Structure 1
């Protein structure tokens, strides 16, 4: 519904490898995956703003989650 929509921009500490890109993800999907990861650091890997992102707990190889980016329309 309209009452549930809006926008938010958040800055987080990160180490970026490669060229910087602007990308957006649905916060509900990010919260869902981050709520089941029990490590303090995660890796979010992608190759372009329109490519899927892969979320992995740093230091663990037994879990990964694929998340699709949102179209920014810019």
Structure 2
């Protein structure tokens, strides 16, 4: 994770509370693993290619902000 990813994660934590951060990290990592594995299997990227993690983090954070119940963030 680059410095921009950490700043994005900090921003998500500031908006939704620290409670959404584990959900955000797990969801973004799972989606990244599936997409990355698929791209590797199809030969679209090489094993040494750098793939940005920010879009996955942003999408997972957005979903976590939308679907985390209000009582969970106190």
TM-score scaled by length of structure 2: 0.33
The structure carrying a bigger strand percent of its residues is 1
Higher relative CO (CA 8 A, sep ≥ 6), structure 1 or 2?
2
Q: Which has the higher helix share?
A: 2
